[in-house]
Amino acid sequence: MTKRFNLFVLFMAVLLGAPYYWLLLDNRPGAAEAKPVTMAQLRELAAAMPGNAPDRVELEIVAYRRLPGNLFVAGAGMKRKLVGVMAWQLPVDGGKAVVIDSGLSEPAATEMGMEAYDRQAQARINTAMERAGTTLITHEHMDHEGGLVALGKPEVLARARLNANQIEDNRWTEMLPWPQGARPQPSLAGSEPVAVAPGVVVIPAPSHTPGSQMIFVRLSDGREFLFAGDIATFAQNWRETRARSRLVGDWFAPEVRGEVFAWLRTIKAWKEQAPGLMIVPGHDFEFMISTERPTGIVRGFSPPAD
């Protein structure tokens, strides 16, 4: 009896444990190598355009939910992490700000199961996009591009710098209904990093989605930031070279896993080349506002200058 019972327990452990390991814990990175892009190249591009660079980074959080850490950082454990929906403003002295990501609408927040939604924060983001010189989007998911689409103002969309994959109808943009007659034209193309404003460089990084891109920013005082989007949803992703779980990355929000690992290794290489570089994860709000490791990011958008 005991032997049979032990065999049964072993069988059930294998039966249940193997899928659990594969879907939530497996983090084998494969042979993906870091990309051949250096900090020196990014700095050269950041200095290529004349004019004032941004002078600070400001943050708004629109919504949040708490989900098991294993979902977004494979093998991180089941303790729930706060997943924030955020947008950033880069004010420019004497010029127009740059906005990165755009929040999301309240119906979209409800559809995504957010625990809380801040209408006033989204209103501030909308105002910032209306006044900004340009809006950049890290990738074509509802909790990053949704605020821009929901705002739907042709003049704002005309100033947004988007790549074709962030606009075209596909499985990643199916929940992003562009306003009738207001669908923007792509203004970013190619596979090489490109300067889009003084101190601001877009780095094409198809991986998490086809239109994924990271954004390097060198402020007027020399501080440097990398907005990683959901290539690194949390700081733990790039620090430990951990991708999302297969449950999320293979099934619910399919991504090219090998390319994600390649870009995570690239981020680590950049951090080694520039220890002061601040990596801004896509959803790690608690990391952003930590007092133990100050990020230099200011909470709350400042009013736009008239």
The arithmetic mean of pLDDT across residues 182-190, rounded, is 91
Query: What pLDDT digit, counting tens, does each position of 255-294 carry?
Result: 999 999 999 999 999 999 999 999 999 999 999 998 888 8
Cβ count within 10 A of residue 52: 13
Cβ pair 255, 231 in contact under 8 A: no
What is residue 256's predicted lDDT score, i.e. its pLDDT? 95
pLDDT-derived band at 2 (thresholds 50, 70, 90) equals low
Percentage of residues of the chain with pLDDT beyond 90 = 75
Tokens of 3: 């032997």
Residue whose tokens read 């990391």:
287
The CATH architecture one would assign to domain 37-299 is 4-Layer Sandwich (3.60)
Q: Is 297 helix (H, G, I), strand (E, B) or coil?
A: coil
User: What residues does each domain of the chain span?
Assistant: 37-299
* Beta-bridge partners for 216: 201, 226
Centroid of chain to Cα 57: 15
H or E element in which residue 66 lies: strand 58-68
Q: Which residues, including other chains, have CB under 8 Å from residue 216's CB and lie 6 or more apart? A: 42, 45, 46, 193, 200, 201, 203, 224, 225, 226, 227
Place of tokens 């850490």: 69
